[in-house]
Amino acid sequence: MAEWNDLDRELDAWRTEGRDATLWWRDDDARQMTPALERLLGLSEEAGVPIAIAVVPLGAEPGLGECLSRRPLAAVLQHGYAHVNHAPAGSRKAELGPGRDAETVLAELAEGRRLLAPFDGALPVLVPPWNRMDPSLLARLPAIGLEAVSAYKPRPAPEPAPGVRCANVHADLFHMKGRFIGERAVLELIVDHLAARRKGMVDRCEATGLLTHHLDLDDACWAFVRKFLRRTRDHAAVRWIGGREVFWP
Ligand SMILES: [Zn+2]
């Protein structure tokens, strides 16, 4: 468990070493503009911090694209296709997991890409639902126009397949059961990733990513996000990045 002071100390160490502690923010599961999504975008703007919204293509309202196009700090990523679980009973949830016919999955993803084409600012980035996918699909993504992926935990490589970049997130506000893990647990995930980067134990160049799910945030989550954005934005070592720079620095 970490405290705000631990975060400050870790960021101070980055400053002492003269390096930018790059951070980025991904939010999942958007299908339509809701009060929660409005609130989230408001926090991003208030803090001047970019945000990447992972939109579920199937059923995404065209109005969402219009709303997001008026938000210069918001980028759009592709969150699978329908966000439907196809994993066998007893296995961890996955839409793009092994065991499905690859041609079917790729056809769905290509259709998802077509559905998001009208969204201004949509990047060719796939966010697999539940942060997992059959790794053998990676090499085939460029053929359907997807050029990057984003899942959870330190990335295996900056480019896990030819023409496919990767930038993951490292601090999910929720347990698998969908409850806030608490401020100190999130801070620990962030401080641990920053420290591991600084010491070269993981890829130093992968920005540390915060993951939220706007539909599920309770008051404590909202308060944490707001405080985290302000606190980091005001630290001299921090550089919040967004848009293409997260994947193609
Ligand atoms: Zn999701």
> 202-243: per-residue pLDDT in tens?
999 999 999 999 999 999 999 999 999 999 999 999 999 999
> 167-198: per-residue pLDDT in tens?
999 999 998 777 899 999 999 999 999 999 99
82 CA from centroid of ligand 1 (Å): 10
User: Per the structure block, which two tokens stand in for 116?
Assistant: 């998001």
Residues 8-36, mean pLDDT to the nearest whole number: 98
Percent of the chain surpassing pLDDT 90 = 96
Per-residue confidence at 120, pLDDT binned at 50, 70, 90?
A: confident
88 CA from centroid of ligand 1 (Å): 18
29 CA from centroid of ligand 1 (Å): 5
Are residues 194 and 14 in contact, defined by beta-carbon separation less than 8 angstroms? Answer: yes
40 exposure class (CB count in 10 Å sphere: 0-12, 13-18, 19+): buried
Q: How far apart are CA 140 and CA 51, in angstroms?
A: 27
240 CA from centroid of ligand 1 (Å): 23
The domain limits of the chain are 4-247
The pLDDT assigned to 175 comes to 81
CATH of 4-247, one of 3.40.50.300, 3.20.20.370, 3.10.129.10, 3.40.50.720: 3.20.20.370
Residue among 162, 138, 83, 163 at smallest CA distance from 115: 83
Is the per-residue pLDDT at 35 higher than 90?
yes
Are residues 211 and 171 in contact, defined by beta-carbon separation less than 8 angstroms? Answer: yes
The pLDDT assigned to 118 comes to 93
Is the per-residue pLDDT at 121 higher than 90?
no
199 CA from centroid of ligand 1 (Å): 31
Is the per-residue pLDDT at 64 higher than 90?
yes
102 CA from centroid of ligand 1 (Å): 20
pTM over 0.85: yes
79 CA from centroid of ligand 1 (Å): 7
**CB atoms near residue 89 (< 10 Å):** 5
28 CA from centroid of ligand 1 (Å): 5
The pLDDT assigned to 203 comes to 98
Q: How far apart are CA 235 and CA 229, in angstroms?
A: 10
